[in-house]
Protein backbone atom coordinates (compact mmCIF):
# COMPACT_ATOMS: atom_id res chain seq x y z
CA UNK A 1 0.00 0.00 0.00
CA UNK A 2 1.39 3.39 -1.00
CA UNK A 3 2.11 5.73 1.87
CA UNK A 4 0.87 9.19 0.97
CA UNK A 5 2.61 12.36 2.03
CA UNK A 6 0.33 15.35 2.05
CA UNK A 7 0.06 18.97 3.09
CA UNK A 8 -3.10 20.68 4.32
CA UNK A 9 -6.49 21.32 2.72
CA UNK A 10 -6.64 24.34 0.40
CA UNK A 11 -3.00 23.51 -0.36
CA UNK A 12 -0.48 26.27 -0.87
CA UNK A 13 2.88 26.05 -2.60
CA UNK A 14 4.61 24.74 0.54
CA UNK A 15 2.00 22.00 1.06
CA UNK A 16 2.34 20.76 -2.51
CA UNK A 17 6.10 21.17 -2.96
CA UNK A 18 7.13 19.83 0.45
CA UNK A 19 4.96 16.76 -0.15
CA UNK A 20 6.63 16.18 -3.54
CA UNK A 21 10.09 16.90 -2.12
CA UNK A 22 9.70 14.63 0.86
CA UNK A 23 8.20 11.82 -1.25
CA UNK A 24 11.21 12.07 -3.58
CA UNK A 25 13.54 11.70 -0.59
CA UNK A 26 11.61 8.78 0.92
CA UNK A 27 11.62 6.96 -2.42
CA UNK A 28 9.84 3.73 -3.27
CA UNK A 29 6.50 3.08 -1.61
CA UNK A 30 5.83 6.76 -0.96
CA UNK A 31 3.86 9.23 -3.07
CA UNK A 32 2.88 12.86 -2.72
CA UNK A 33 -0.80 13.66 -2.37
CA UNK A 34 -2.86 16.81 -2.07
CA UNK A 35 -6.08 17.80 -0.31
CA UNK A 36 -7.56 20.22 -2.79
CA UNK A 37 -7.06 22.15 -5.99
CA UNK A 38 -3.66 23.44 -7.00
CA UNK A 39 -3.72 27.22 -6.68
CA UNK A 40 -2.46 29.48 -9.52
CA UNK A 41 0.83 30.25 -7.79
CA UNK A 42 1.61 26.57 -7.28
CA UNK A 43 0.54 25.75 -10.84
CA UNK A 44 3.04 28.32 -12.08
CA UNK A 45 5.77 26.63 -10.00
CA UNK A 46 4.87 23.12 -11.22
CA UNK A 47 4.79 24.29 -14.84
CA UNK A 48 8.04 26.20 -14.45
CA UNK A 49 9.89 23.06 -13.33
CA UNK A 50 7.93 20.63 -15.49
CA UNK A 51 6.40 18.69 -12.62
CA UNK A 52 2.95 17.14 -12.30
CA UNK A 53 0.57 17.92 -9.46
CA UNK A 54 0.34 15.24 -6.76
CA UNK A 55 -2.63 12.88 -6.67
CA UNK A 56 -5.86 14.28 -5.17
CA UNK A 57 -6.60 12.28 -2.02
CA UNK A 58 -10.01 11.33 -0.72
CA UNK A 59 -10.95 9.88 2.65
CA UNK A 60 -7.78 8.52 4.28
CA UNK A 61 -9.40 6.33 6.96
CA UNK A 62 -7.45 3.10 7.35
CA UNK A 63 -4.46 4.36 5.34
CA UNK A 64 -0.93 5.21 6.36
CA UNK A 65 -0.08 8.86 5.93
CA UNK A 66 2.66 11.41 6.50
CA UNK A 67 1.65 15.01 7.14
CA UNK A 68 3.67 17.99 6.03
CA UNK A 69 2.94 21.69 6.59
CA UNK A 70 0.13 21.08 9.11
CA UNK A 71 -0.66 19.13 12.25
CA UNK A 72 -4.31 19.91 12.95
CA UNK A 73 -7.19 17.55 12.19
CA UNK A 74 -9.39 20.43 10.96
CA UNK A 75 -6.85 21.17 8.22
CA UNK A 76 -6.08 17.56 7.34
CA UNK A 77 -7.57 14.79 5.25
CA UNK A 78 -11.09 13.53 5.79
CA UNK A 79 -10.85 10.37 7.88
CA UNK A 80 -7.56 11.49 9.49
CA UNK A 81 -8.76 10.30 12.92
CA UNK A 82 -8.96 6.76 11.51
CA UNK A 83 -5.72 7.00 9.51
CA UNK A 84 -2.32 5.91 10.78
CA UNK A 85 -0.10 8.98 10.93
CA UNK A 86 3.51 7.85 10.49
CA UNK A 87 5.33 11.18 10.57
CA UNK A 88 4.66 14.90 10.78
CA UNK A 89 7.00 17.59 9.42
CA UNK A 90 5.72 21.05 10.18
CA UNK A 91 6.36 24.64 11.18
CA UNK A 92 3.04 25.64 12.77
CA UNK A 93 1.65 25.71 16.28
CA UNK A 94 0.89 22.28 17.71
CA UNK A 95 -2.78 21.76 17.13
CA UNK A 96 -3.98 18.68 18.96
CA UNK A 97 -3.66 15.63 16.69
CA UNK A 98 -3.23 12.42 18.67
CA UNK A 99 -1.47 9.19 17.69
CA UNK A 100 -1.57 5.77 19.29
CA UNK A 101 2.14 5.07 18.78
CA UNK A 102 5.33 7.11 18.92
CA UNK A 103 6.01 8.85 15.61
CA UNK A 104 8.60 11.11 14.06
CA UNK A 105 7.17 14.54 14.81
CA UNK A 106 9.52 17.25 13.59
CA UNK A 107 8.20 20.74 14.17
CA UNK A 108 10.74 23.53 13.67
CA UNK A 109 9.86 27.22 13.97
CA UNK A 110 11.27 28.15 10.59
CA UNK A 111 9.49 29.95 7.77
CA UNK A 112 8.65 26.96 5.62
CA UNK A 113 8.26 23.18 5.72
CA UNK A 114 10.47 22.94 2.63
CA UNK A 115 13.36 24.20 4.79
CA UNK A 116 12.77 21.21 7.10
CA UNK A 117 12.51 18.82 4.14
CA UNK A 118 15.87 20.13 2.92
CA UNK A 119 17.32 19.48 6.41
CA UNK A 120 16.22 15.86 6.04
CA UNK A 121 17.97 15.63 2.66
CA UNK A 122 21.17 16.82 4.33
CA UNK A 123 20.78 14.45 7.27
CA UNK A 124 20.50 11.61 4.77
CA UNK A 125 23.54 12.82 2.81
CA UNK A 126 21.38 13.49 -0.24
CA UNK A 127 20.81 16.40 -2.58
CA UNK A 128 17.46 17.06 -4.28
CA UNK A 129 17.59 17.01 -8.08
CA UNK A 130 17.19 20.31 -9.95
CA UNK A 131 13.41 20.07 -10.34
CA UNK A 132 12.75 19.15 -6.72
CA UNK A 133 15.21 21.84 -5.59
CA UNK A 134 13.22 24.33 -7.69
CA UNK A 135 9.98 23.31 -6.00
CA UNK A 136 11.46 23.47 -2.50
CA UNK A 137 13.04 26.86 -3.22
CA UNK A 138 9.69 28.14 -4.54
CA UNK A 139 7.94 26.96 -1.38
CA UNK A 140 10.36 28.92 0.79
CA UNK A 141 9.95 32.04 -1.35
CA UNK A 142 6.18 31.63 -1.16
CA UNK A 143 5.87 31.06 2.58
CA UNK A 144 8.36 33.80 3.48
CA UNK A 145 7.07 36.23 0.83
CA UNK A 146 10.61 36.24 -0.60
CA UNK A 147 12.26 36.61 2.84
CA UNK A 148 10.05 39.58 3.85
CA UNK A 149 7.79 37.78 6.32
CA UNK A 150 8.72 37.95 10.02
CA UNK A 151 8.50 34.14 10.00
CA UNK A 152 11.59 33.98 7.76
CA UNK A 153 14.79 32.84 9.49
CA UNK A 154 18.41 32.93 8.34
CA UNK A 155 18.12 29.18 7.80
CA UNK A 156 15.23 29.65 5.37
CA UNK A 157 17.13 32.24 3.39
CA UNK A 158 20.37 30.24 3.26
CA UNK A 159 18.44 27.09 2.31
CA UNK A 160 16.48 28.85 -0.45
CA UNK A 161 19.67 30.26 -1.94
CA UNK A 162 21.36 26.83 -1.91
CA UNK A 163 18.29 25.31 -3.57
CA UNK A 164 18.15 28.12 -6.13
CA UNK A 165 21.72 27.33 -7.15
CA UNK A 166 20.85 23.64 -7.65
CA UNK A 167 17.68 24.55 -9.55
CA UNK A 168 19.40 27.09 -11.78
CA UNK A 169 17.32 30.06 -10.58
CA UNK A 170 19.69 32.93 -11.29
CA UNK A 171 17.74 35.89 -9.93
CA UNK A 172 15.75 34.74 -6.91
CA UNK A 173 13.94 38.04 -6.39
CA UNK A 174 12.87 38.26 -10.04
CA UNK A 175 11.68 34.66 -10.00
CA UNK A 176 9.71 35.28 -6.79
CA UNK A 177 8.02 38.30 -8.35
CA UNK A 178 7.03 36.27 -11.39
CA UNK A 179 5.60 33.61 -9.09
CA UNK A 180 3.62 36.12 -6.99
CA UNK A 181 2.20 37.81 -10.06
CA UNK A 182 1.08 34.43 -11.43
CA UNK A 183 -0.43 33.66 -8.02
CA UNK A 184 -2.46 36.81 -7.76
CA UNK A 185 -4.14 36.58 -11.15
CA UNK A 186 -7.38 37.32 -9.38
CA UNK A 187 -9.24 38.99 -12.22
CA UNK A 188 -11.16 35.96 -13.40
CA UNK A 189 -11.82 34.52 -9.94
CA UNK A 190 -15.02 34.71 -7.94
CA UNK A 191 -14.96 36.08 -4.39
CA UNK A 192 -15.55 32.57 -3.10
CA UNK A 193 -12.54 31.24 -5.01
CA UNK A 194 -10.41 34.06 -3.67
CA UNK A 195 -11.52 33.45 -0.07
CA UNK A 196 -10.59 29.78 -0.37
CA UNK A 197 -7.29 30.22 -2.23
CA UNK A 198 -5.56 30.08 1.14
CA UNK A 199 -8.06 29.55 3.96
CA UNK A 200 -7.72 27.82 7.33
CA UNK A 201 -10.01 27.23 10.27
CA UNK A 202 -9.01 27.51 13.91
CA UNK A 203 -10.69 27.05 17.28
CA UNK A 204 -10.40 29.16 20.39
CA UNK A 205 -12.64 28.37 23.35
CA UNK A 206 -16.02 27.69 21.79
CA UNK A 207 -15.35 29.89 18.79
CA UNK A 208 -14.45 28.57 15.36
CA UNK A 209 -12.91 31.18 13.13
CA UNK A 210 -11.68 31.07 9.57
CA UNK A 211 -8.78 33.13 8.26
CA UNK A 212 -8.14 33.55 4.55
CA UNK A 213 -5.21 35.36 3.02
CA UNK A 214 -4.31 36.73 -0.36
CA UNK A 215 -0.89 38.24 -0.99
CA UNK A 216 -0.24 40.57 -3.88
CA UNK A 217 2.52 42.73 -5.33
CA UNK A 218 -0.16 45.26 -6.26
CA UNK A 219 -1.69 47.43 -3.55
CA UNK A 220 -4.17 48.76 -6.08
CA UNK A 221 -5.46 45.30 -6.85
CA UNK A 222 -5.98 44.69 -3.11
CA UNK A 223 -7.84 47.97 -2.58
CA UNK A 224 -10.16 47.07 -5.42
CA UNK A 225 -10.67 43.62 -3.97
CA UNK A 226 -11.35 44.77 -0.40
CA UNK A 227 -14.99 45.99 -0.75
CA UNK A 228 -15.85 43.01 -2.97
CA UNK A 229 -14.58 40.55 -0.38
CA UNK A 230 -16.23 42.40 2.53
CA UNK A 231 -19.60 42.28 0.79
CA UNK A 232 -19.18 38.65 -0.21
CA UNK A 233 -18.17 37.52 3.29
CA UNK A 234 -21.21 39.23 4.81
CA UNK A 235 -23.74 37.89 2.34
CA UNK A 236 -22.35 34.34 2.29
CA UNK A 237 -21.42 34.24 5.98
CA UNK A 238 -23.69 31.34 6.98
CA UNK A 239 -22.25 28.89 4.45
CA UNK A 240 -18.66 28.90 5.74
CA UNK A 241 -19.29 27.04 9.01
CA UNK A 242 -17.46 29.52 11.22
CA UNK A 243 -18.51 31.98 13.93
CA UNK A 244 -16.19 34.62 12.54
CA UNK A 245 -14.44 35.13 9.23
CA UNK A 246 -11.24 37.09 8.72
CA UNK A 247 -9.53 37.86 5.45
CA UNK A 248 -6.01 39.22 5.11
CA UNK A 249 -5.20 41.37 2.08
CA UNK A 250 -1.43 41.32 2.31
CA UNK A 251 0.57 43.87 0.33
CA UNK A 252 3.99 42.32 -0.27
CA UNK A 253 5.68 45.57 -1.31
CA UNK A 254 4.17 47.70 1.49
CA UNK A 255 4.78 44.85 3.98
CA UNK A 256 1.33 45.32 5.48
CA UNK A 257 -2.04 43.65 5.77
CA UNK A 258 -5.55 45.00 5.49
CA UNK A 259 -7.69 42.76 7.69
CA UNK A 260 -11.38 42.56 6.93
CA UNK A 261 -13.80 40.47 8.95
CA UNK A 262 -17.37 39.65 9.78
CA UNK A 263 -19.38 37.72 12.35
CA UNK A 264 -20.64 38.66 15.78
CA UNK A 265 -17.77 39.59 18.08
CA UNK A 266 -15.18 39.82 15.29
CA UNK A 267 -14.86 43.58 15.63
CA UNK A 268 -14.28 43.31 19.39
CA UNK A 269 -11.78 40.50 18.82
CA UNK A 270 -9.80 42.58 16.33
CA UNK A 271 -9.86 45.54 18.69
CA UNK A 272 -8.55 43.40 21.56
CA UNK A 273 -6.06 41.48 19.44
CA UNK A 274 -4.41 44.45 17.80
CA UNK A 275 -5.02 47.04 20.54
CA UNK A 276 -6.12 49.56 18.03
CA UNK A 277 -8.68 52.29 18.62
CA UNK A 278 -8.21 53.79 15.20
CA UNK A 279 -11.30 54.26 13.08
CA UNK A 280 -9.81 52.08 10.36
CA UNK A 281 -8.17 49.38 12.44
CA UNK A 282 -8.07 47.04 9.52
CA UNK A 283 -4.70 48.39 8.30
CA UNK A 284 -1.86 46.54 10.03
CA UNK A 285 1.59 47.80 9.09
CA UNK A 286 4.33 45.17 9.27
CA UNK A 287 1.83 42.32 9.50
CA UNK A 288 2.24 39.63 6.83
CA UNK A 289 2.09 36.31 8.65
CA UNK A 290 -1.16 34.61 9.52
CA UNK A 291 0.49 32.03 11.75
CA UNK A 292 2.62 34.48 13.70
CA UNK A 293 0.86 37.82 13.64
CA UNK A 294 -2.85 37.09 13.28
CA UNK A 295 -3.87 33.66 14.59
CA UNK A 296 -2.11 33.76 18.02
CA UNK A 297 -3.44 37.27 18.70
CA UNK A 298 -7.00 36.36 17.70
CA UNK A 299 -6.82 33.07 19.60
CA UNK A 300 -5.83 34.93 22.78
CA UNK A 301 -8.46 37.60 22.27
CA UNK A 302 -11.17 34.98 21.85
CA UNK A 303 -10.25 32.81 24.85
MN1 LIG B 1 0.84 25.99 4.16
MN1 LIG C 1 4.21 26.27 5.21
Tell me how far the alpha carbon of residue 90 lies from the centroid of ligand 2, in angstroms. Answer: 7
Q: Which of 159, 181, 203 is the last residue of a domain?
A: 181
Tell me how far the alpha carbon of residue 191 lies from the centroid of ligand 2, in angstroms. Answer: 24
Tell me how far the alpha carbon of residue 143 lies from the centroid of ligand 2, in angstroms. Answer: 6
Tell me how far the alpha carbon of residue 70 lies from the centroid of ligand 2, in angstroms. Answer: 8
Element housing 139 (H / E): helix 130-143
Kindly state whether residues 161 and 13 are assigned to the same domain: yes
Q: Domain of 281: which CATH number?
A: 3.10.310.20
Tell me how far the alpha carbon of residue 212 lies from the centroid of ligand 1, in angstroms. Answer: 12
Kindly state whether residues 260 and 280 are assigned to the same domain: yes
Tell me how far the alpha carbon of residue 91 lies from the centroid of ligand 2, in angstroms. Answer: 7
- If you count them, how many residues does the chain have? 303
Where b means 16+ CB within 10 Å and e means fewer, 268-284 reads ebbeebbeeeeeeebeb
- The number of the ligand nearest the C-alpha atom of 139 reads 2
- The number of the ligand nearest the C-alpha atom of 115 reads 2
Q: Which of 181, 207, 234 is the last residue of a domain?
A: 181
Kindly state whether residues 176 and 197 are assigned to the same domain: no
Tell me how far the alpha carbon of residue 277 lies from the centroid of ligand 2, in angstroms. Answer: 32
Range of the domain at 213: 191-302
What pLDDT score does 303 carry?
87
Low-confidence ranges of the chain (pLDDT < 70): 276-281
Tell me how far the alpha carbon of residue 272 lies from the centroid of ligand 1, in angstroms. Answer: 26
The answer as to whether 186 is a domain residue is: no
pLDDT digits (tens, 9 = 90+) for 107-139: 999 999 999 999 999 999 999 999 999 999 999
Q: Domain of 97: which CATH number?
A: 3.90.1640.10
pLDDT digits (tens, 9 = 90+) for 219-256: 888 999 999 999 999 999 999 999 999 999 999 989 99
Number of domains in the chain: 2
The answer as to whether 93 is a domain residue is: yes
User: DSSP assignment of 55-123, as one string?
Assistant: EEP---TTSEEEEES---GGGS-TTGGGSEEEEEEE-S-------SS--EEEE--SS-HHHHHHHHHHH
Predicted TM-score (pTM) of the model is 0.86
Tell me how far the alpha carbon of residue 7 lies from the centroid of ligand 2, in angstroms. Answer: 9
Are the C-beta atoms of 86 and 107 separated by less than 8 Å? no
Kindly state whether residues 198 and 170 are assigned to the same domain: no
- The number of the ligand nearest the C-alpha atom of 90 reads 2
Amino acid sequence: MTIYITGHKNPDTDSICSAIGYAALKGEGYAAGRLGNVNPETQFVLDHFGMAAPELLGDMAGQEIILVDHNEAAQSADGIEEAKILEILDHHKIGGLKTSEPILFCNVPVGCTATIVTMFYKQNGKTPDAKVAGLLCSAILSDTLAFRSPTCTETDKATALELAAIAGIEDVEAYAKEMFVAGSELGSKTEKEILYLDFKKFNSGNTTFGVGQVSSMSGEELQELKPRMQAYMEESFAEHGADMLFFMLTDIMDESTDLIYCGEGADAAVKAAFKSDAEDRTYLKGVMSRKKQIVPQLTDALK
